[in-house]
Amino acid sequence: MSINLPQKSLTASDIRERKGGGPLVCLTAYTTPTARLVDPHCDITLVGDSVGMVLHGLPSTLGVTLEMMVLHGKAVMRGLSRSLCVIDLPFGTYEESSEQAFRSASRLLAETGATAVKLEGGVHMAETISFLVARGVPVVGHIGLTPQSVNVLSGYKVQGKGTDAQRVLADAQAVSDAGAFAVVLEKIPQALAHRITQTITIPTIGIGAGPACDGQILVVDDMLGAFADFKPKFVKRYAELSQQASQAIEQYAAEVRAGEFPEQMHSFGPPV
């Protein structure tokens, strides 16, 4: 079945207008080749601060710098022609003040050419979101499990259970009212995600938040099975690249040691 997708680059307004429409498809990307792969299929491509863990081997997202996000943002933008590019503001680059957030966001957008930034936090970040939007910076919110707050949250636990649901709902409403054009709901009960999606006026993008959201996002390396020993409950693996890559590398090593590679077809000039 063929799908007719728009050829122009999507805008923040395009995404916002998809509220209640067809589900938004979103994935992360950190490199140009990956961006080229996801671009024809995704509405939003997120240059997530998860790059610190996925590509740099960091134990959490807390060590990611603005310079790293600029570097990977530029790489991803070289591979996109249709998908809207959103870049995470890393930990420590926006929490101090609205002014700090604007300096960080304006640098990311100016140096990469991306369309929007994403920041974590609800009620306490509403003023900052409003400040950014008023100055021409499109913003995606992120509530529920916020990885940059992992030390405060005591790990990567489900948020919004029981009476805590009111806090998450208030965060969602605050982000929407502040002018964000979409919000990521991470690792919250699906009933709460459904309630939020029905309550606020901007699209919700779920990751571990059930099927009722207006869209879904996954870390591309997780859904491709790039890591054999990491599989969160909310991730469906569509490939097993780690296993396939390991087998290919093992075969290569065996052929080199056996003198079977390279063969004449892989060499230049007459054999010696």
Residue numbers in the known binding site for Mg(2+) are 49, 88, 120
How many C-beta atoms surround the C-beta of residue 155 within 10 A?
7
CA distances from residue 150 to 62, 123, 139, 154, 204 in whole angstroms, order as listed? 9, 18, 22, 6, 22
Dist CA 116 CA 140 (whole Å) = 7
Asked about 186 being catalytic, the answer comes back as yes
- Known binding-site residues for 3-methyl-2-oxobutanoate equal 49-50, 88, 118
CA-wise closest residue to 232 among 245, 218, 243, 246? 218
Catalytic site residue from 17, 67, 111, 186: 186
CA distances from residue 201 to 89, 106, 222, 254 in whole angstroms, order as listed? 23, 26, 30, 58
How many C-beta atoms surround the C-beta of residue 78 within 10 A?
14
Strands (DSSP E) found in 161-201: 182-186
What are the two backbone dihedrals, phi and then psi, of residue 268, each rounded to the nearest 5 degrees?
A: -115, 140
CB-based contact 210:194 (threshold 8 Å): yes
Dist CA 148 CA 145 (whole Å) = 9
**Which residues are known catalytic residues?**
186
